[in-house]
Chain A
Amino acid sequence: MENTNQTLLDVRDLRISFFTDEGEVRAVDGISFSMKPGETLAVVGESGSGKSVTAMALTRLVPSPPARYLGGEIIFKGRDTLKLSPEELRRVRGAQISYIFQEPSTSLNPVFQIRSQIAEAIELHRRDVKDVDAEAERLLTLVGIRDARLRMGDYPHQLSGGMQQRVMIAMALACNPSLLVADEPTTALDVTIQAQIMELLKELKQKLGMAIMLITHNFSIVADIADNIAVMFRGKIVEYGPTQRVLHEPQHPYTKALLECIPRLGAHKHRLKTINHAEIEAALGR
């Protein structure tokens, strides 16, 4: 616990595989990274690169089987979450590390009111809170939902996608987590709503000072929020460093390729690049 001030999360040589009838699929293949309190780390990669599995693995949310945690350590606040008992793990989930997901419409339970879904998060970890409703209302207001008191009686399907994601965020913030894992938080949303949600995350980060791990395939949303970037390709981190350096002086061919995919205003290109995997594999020397 002493090193809390230096490092919040230290992942070392994490390896996770899925064993299917086809053989072993190495979803996460020996990755290491660390985060300081309040830091924002963007993990960028295509779908299937292992970034979501990494995020979920922080609190062992990837069901096992089919996944197997083959090795490595996930030191969070001085303790290895891979070694925690299910009981201890539950006290980390939602309380210290909380999540928001890609599909807010299916990630909220359709048959419960917003009120009870947020209340559940509070009741699970903050027994001392007396007026749960008031607290839920405060959280909803915090994430920018107007008329929070009225909205609390709504069911998820009565809200728009952007509003649903705000509810998810409110739920995630219910216990003042030290790390918020946002797994593709804007992918399922309209472009204008995407911007609003990113703006909200930035604002909350400043206000609450929690660390954010932002999982995305989209380089264009990370530039003005992330402190560091880790680029994942086929289960490995192929590039890891401060945001400005990664964006402006990418070292790895895959990072370069990803960056070239971003459409830029004013760039006179006729076609967007696509990623040639054979070329990258060759560069990796496989």
Chain B
Amino acid sequence: MTAYIIRRLLTVIPITLGVLLLVFFIYRVIGGDPAARLAGKNATPQKIEQIRKQYGFDKPKFFNWQEAAKTGSPAAAFDSQFWHLVGQFAQLDFGKSLQSNQRISRMLADGVVPSLCVTTPIFLVELSVAIALALICAFYRGTRIDRTFVVVSIVAMSISGLVYIMMGQYFFAFRLRWFPVWGFESPAFLLLPVAIGVIAGIGGSLRFYRTIMLDEMYQDYVRTAFAKGCSQREVLFKHVLKNAAIPILTNVVVAIPFLYTGSLMLESFFGIPGLGRMTVDAIYTGDEPVLFAMVFIGSVIFVIANLVTDLLYTWADPRIRLQ
């Protein structure tokens, strides 16, 4: 058991390194010369050269064998773009924004609170509503009520999130004036984005949780519970829910990174100064260091969330816990 936990903890290292490698690969290899991209379309060769020097793009990408051979020290091989990045990120230094020249770590810290203000309520409301509806579906499985929910959720999933946002903002904020259109000043400003976020996401969640519940409904232990004389309610809320809690838990923890990265479209539509909007702005302005940091941190949080899920799993499921 302890051995398993230690082994699981250690897997974080290669995965995190891999993530960094992947993000590095995207921004420094796939897209061609990063200096030319940063300099813009009409930049002079001198300007590009200057940027290349400034950001160290002139160094080898992974290993500086030349330098190592010249100086004779193996450590010099790590004088490369990738390993510099590793060293930098290990100290939580993500560089500066090209646009505002602010420290990115500062920007990340500032953006997190507004993002969480939007995403956490969406997450919690969506989770509880979806689970409640999934239980209703399981209760009425095979009947018209269940089928209606399934069809409605597929319909809801088939509409672009952008359309929900545009229509919601237009009707409820602009036309009906029920909510403020834009800004982040009081909780009232959050109501509409949260409502739209829930509606846009509920279809997918409901289907997911319904599948989990129904899978459990057809297990043998459910038959045993009925044979004992349990009522539908007792079977659902006691037997099924406790078993379903394990896959639900996984899904919940894995969703946590998205709380952090914020909602790209909601935040920029409603003017919420969170990380989602920061990312969108960075794409518009080509602020690569910000994008790089955002993608990397989003992934690291995902890796950690995954780790937590696995550890929770061992705690929640007696079949694993007691091995």
Interface string of B284-323 (1 = CB under 8 A from A): 0000000000000000000000000000000001110010
A93-117 CB contacts (< 8 Å) to partner B: 93-95, 98-99, 101, 103, 106-112
Q: Which of B191-220 contact A (CB under 8 A)?
A: 219-220
* Of B227, B230, B242, the contact of A112 (CB 8 Å cutoff): B242
Q: Mark A81-102, 1 if CB is under 8 A from B, else 0.
A: 0000010001111110011010
In the complex, B31 has a CB within 8 A of chain A: no
Known: A101-B224, A111-B243. A157 touches B231 (CB 8 A): no
CA–CA, A65 and B319, complex, Å: 33
Task: Pick the contact of A106: B221, B230, B239, B246 (CB < 8 A).
Answer: B221
Q: Is A59 an interface residue (CB 8 A)?
A: yes
B184 to chain A: closest CB distance in Å? Answer: 43
For residue A61, CB closer than 8 A to chain B, the reply is: yes
For the complex, is A41 an interface residue (Cβ under 8 Å from B)?
no
B32 contacts chain A at the CB level, 8 A cutoff: no
CB-nearest residue of chain A to B219: A106
- When the two chains form their complex, are residues A107 and B224 in contact, meaning their CB atoms are under 8 A apart? yes
21 pairs, CB–CB < 8 Å, chain A vs chain B: A61-B223, A90-B231, A93-B227, A93-B228, A94-B227, A101-B227, A103-B220, A106-B219, A106-B220, A106-B221, A107-B220, A109-B224, A110-B221, A110-B319, A111-B317, A111-B318, A112-B239, A124-B229, A124-B230, A155-B318, A157-B322
A100 to chain B, nearest CB (A): 9
The answer to whether the Cβ of A121 comes within 8 Å of any Cβ in the partner chain is yes
**Which of A63, A66, A109 has its CB near the most chain B CB atoms (within 10 A)?**
A109
Indicate whether A169 reaches chain B with its CB closer than 8 angstroms: no
Most-contacted residue by chain A among B225, B229, B239, B317 (CB, 10 A):
B229
- A158 adjacent to chain B (CB < 8 Å): yes
Complex Cα–Cα for A162 and B103 (A): 65
Could you tell me which residues of chain B, from 136 to 187, have a CB within 8 Å of some CB in chain A? 142
A59 to B142, CA, bound (A): 21
- Which one of A63, A65, A125 lies within 8 Å of B229 (CB-CB)? A125
Q: Which residues of chain B are within 8 angstroms of A112 by Cβ–Cβ distance?
A: 239, 242
In the complex formed, the residue of B with least CB distance to A106 is B220
Q: Is there a chain A Cβ closer than 8 Å to B226's Cβ? A: yes
Asked, given contacts A107-B224, A108-B224, A110-B243, whether A93 binds B318 with beta carbons under 8 Å apart, the answer is no
Cα–Cα, bound, A53→B139 (Å): 22
Q: Give the complex CA separation of A117 and B308 in angstroms.
A: 30
A155 to B317, CA, bound (A): 10
- Does chain B have a CB within 8 A of A227? no
In angstroms, Cα B226 to Cα A65, docked, is 16
- Give the docked Cα–Cα distance between A121 and B231 (Å): 12
Q: Which residue of A lies closest to B245 (CB)?
A: A111
Q: Mark B231-262, 1 if CB is under 8 A from A, else 0.
A: 10000000100110010000000000000000
The 3 A-B pairs with the shortest beta carbon distances in the complex, nearest first, are A94-B229, A94-B228, A106-B220
**How many of B's residues come within 8 Å of A, CB to CB?**
21
Q: How far is the CA of A181 from the CA of B231 in the complex (A)?
A: 20
Q: Does A73 contact B (CB under 8 A)?
A: no
**In the complex, which residues of chain A have a beta carbon less than 8 angstroms from the beta carbon of B318?**
110-111, 155, 157
Q: Which of A41-65 contact B (CB under 8 A)?
A: 59, 61, 63, 65
Assembled-state Cα–Cα distance A124/B228 (Å):
8
Using CB atoms, name the residue of chain A closest to B239: A109
Q: Does A80 contact B (CB under 8 A)?
A: no
How long is the Cα–Cα vector from A93 to B227 in the complex, in angstroms?
5
Q: Which of B224, B226, B230 has the most CB of A within 10 A?
A: B224
- Distance, CA A91 to CA B230, complexed state (A): 9
- Nearest-CB distance from B50 to chain A (Å)? 63
Residues from chain A with a CB closer than 8 A to the CB of B223 are 61, 101, 107
Q: Are A155 and B228 in contact (CB under 8 A)?
A: no
The reply on A212 being an interface residue by CB < 8 A is no
Q: Are B225 and A109 in contact (CB under 8 A)?
A: yes
Question: Which chain B residue has the least Cβ–Cβ distance from A181?
Answer: B227
Q: How far is the CB of B141 from chain A (nearest CB, A)?
A: 9
**Whose C-beta in chain A lies nearest to the C-beta of B221?**
A109
Choose from B221, B231, B246, B322 the contact partner of A158 (Cβ within 8 Å).
B322
| Chain A: minimal CB distance from B281 (Å) | 47
Cα distance A92–B229 in the bound complex, in angstroms:
7
Q: A171 within 8 Å of B by Cβ?
A: yes
Known A109-B224, A157-B322; 15 more pairs at CB < 8 Å: A66-B142, A86-B231, A90-B229, A90-B231, A94-B227, A106-B221, A107-B223, A108-B224, A109-B242, A109-B243, A120-B230, A124-B230, A157-B319, A158-B322, A171-B228
Question: Could you tell me the distance between the alpha carbons of A95 and B229 in the complex, rounded to whole angstroms?
Answer: 8
Nearest-CB residue, chain B, relative to A112: B242
Residue interface mask A198-242, B partner, CB < 8 A = 1: 000000000000000000000000000000000000000000000
When C-beta atoms are compared, the residue in chain A nearest to B225 turns out to be A109
What's the least CB distance linking A61 to chain B, in Å?
6
Whether A93 and B317, one on each chain, are in contact in the complex, defined by CB atoms closer than 8 angstroms, is: no
Which chain B residue lies CB-closest to A64? B142
Chain A: minimal CB distance from B155 (Å): 24
Q: In the docked arrangement, what's the CA distance between A157 and B322, Å?
A: 9
- Residue in chain B with minimal CB distance to A124: B229
Listed residue (A61, A93, A98) with the most chain B CB atoms within 10 angstroms of its CB: A93
